[in-house]
Amino acid sequence: MPILCKPAVSVPEHVVTLAQTLELCNTIHADHPQLELALRLLRNTGVQTRHFVRPLEETLSHPGLTERNRLYQEHSKLRVPPVIHEALSNASLGAEDIDAIVYVSCTGFLMPSMTAHLVNEMGFRSDTRQIPIAQLGCAAGGAAINQAFTFCTAFPDANVLIVACEFCSLCYQPTDKGVGNLLSNGLFGDAVAAAVVRARGGAGPRLERTASYLIPHTEDWICYEVKETGFHFRLDKRVPKTMEPLAPSMRALAQAHGMDASKLGFYIIHAGGPRILDDLALFLNVDRDRFRYSRATLTSYGNIASAVVFDALRRAFEDGEVREGATGMIAGFGPGITAEICVGHWAEDAFPAAA
C-alpha cells in the first residue's frame, strides 16, 4: 500500500497577529453596523498569527487582477522549489524518481500549470504525469492524497509528489463588507506544502481506503465570484454546521475498512475554523484534543487552505506519539460542500524500498 511520507511546509516571512487584525478591522470598518459581531467572530477563530507573502500594507492594497496573478506566479516559482527539495529528502528520493506531480492551489491561476515549470526547472523527467487541481479549495489537500493513492495503486512502483501552494492574502478584496468576508480576512493565511507518496518504502500513514462525499445543493455555501477585480470569496453562515452531515460518511469509510472512526490512533483534519473541529469531535464522539495537530496549525498559521492537512501531518510526525500500526484518518473539506477522506495505518518502513 502507498505511504505518505513526512511533509515539508513553509510559511512566508511577513507575520500578522490577532491584535493587528482586530485593530485593522476596528479602523477600516469603524462604521460597519455589525462591527462588534465581526470582532467577536475574529477573536473566536483561535488564530493568533498568520503569514503573508507581502507586507501588510501592500496586502491591503488592490493593484488589480493582472498584478495579483503576476505576484502569484512570482512567489510560487520562488517559494515552491525549496519545499519540494525538503519533501523529496524526507522521502529519500530525487526528482528523477517522481512519476507524477499533483499540484493544488485555489489562490492563483497559471496555464500551463506550475507542474510544467517544475518539470522544466527542477530535474523531473519529461514523462512525469502532471495532475493540477484548481477548483476544490481547501478540500484539495485531501483530494491530492486520494489522487496519489489512486495513481500508486494503478502503478505499483510509482512515486507521486504532492504540492499545495496557497497565497490566500492575494485574494483580499477591500470592497467586500459582508460579515463572512470580514471573518475570512482574519482567518486565512499563506503557505506552501509538499509531500511524497511512495508506492514502496517510506514511513508515515499507509493509505488504504479513500472516499469522497458531497452534501447535495450546497454549491453556493463556499464559492468564488469571479469579477474584474479577481476572486471574491463567499462564505455562507451555514458552513460551520456541515460536520453533522459529513460525519456519517467518515464513519462509513472507517467502518468499511474495519475501523471505528471514534477510536482511531490519529486524526489529520482540515482546520477550516474552530467550530468545524469542535463539531466534528462531537459528531465523531472523540475528545477535542485528538485534533490537536489541526488546532496547532490554525493557531499558528490560520486556515492555509489545501496546505492544512500537510502541516497537521508534519506536526504529527514531529510530535512522535503516533506508533507503528496506529489507525488513522485524513480529511479535507471544501467547496461543494465536499469531503475528501482517507484511512489507513501508520507504518515505519513497513515495505522496504526496491533495490
177 part of a folded domain: yes
Among 200, 230, 257, the domain boundary falls at: 200
One domain for residues 192 and 283: no
Cell numbers linked to 53: 507573502
What stretches in the chain show pLDDT beneath 50? Answer: 350-355
353 part of a folded domain: no
Structural domains of the chain, count = 2
Radius of gyration of the chain (CA): 19
One domain for residues 189 and 232: no
Catalytic positions are 138
One domain for residues 167 and 262: no
230 part of a folded domain: yes
Instruction: Write out pLDDT tens, residues 122-161.
Output: 999 999 999 999 999 999 999 999 999 999 999 999 999 9
One domain for residues 277 and 129: no
One domain for residues 29 and 81: yes
One domain for residues 189 and 228: no
* pTM, two decimal places: 0.94
One domain for residues 116 and 26: yes
308 part of a folded domain: yes
One domain for residues 219 and 195: no
3-state helix, strand, coil in the chain (%, to 5): 40, 25, 30
354 part of a folded domain: no
One domain for residues 246 and 121: no
Alpha-carbon distances of 79 from 15, 51, 132, rounded to whole Å: 16, 13, 18
One domain for residues 102 and 233: no
Q: Is 157 helix (H, G, I), strand (E, B) or coil?
A: coil
Provide the pLDDT for residue 182.
85
Provide the pLDDT for residue 236.
85
279-285 contact pairs (CB < 8 A, 24+): 279/240, 279/241, 279/243, 279/244, 280/243, 280/246, 280/247, 282/243, 283/243, 283/244, 283/247, 284/247, 284/250, 284/251
Averaged pLDDT score across all residues of the chain: 94
Grid look-up 511520507 returns 5
For residues 170 and 53, the answer to whether their CB atoms sit within 8 Å is yes
Provide the pLDDT for residue 40.
92
Provide the pLDDT for residue 212.
97
One domain for residues 324 and 252: yes
- Supply the angle between the helices 140-154 and 308-319 in degrees, to the nearest 10: 80
One domain for residues 187 and 239: no
For residues 243 and 280, the answer to whether their CB atoms sit within 8 Å is yes
Among 168, 200, 232, the domain boundary falls at: 200
CATH number at residue 279: 3.40.47.10
Q: Domain range spanning residue 101? A: 3-200
Provide the pLDDT for residue 355.
35
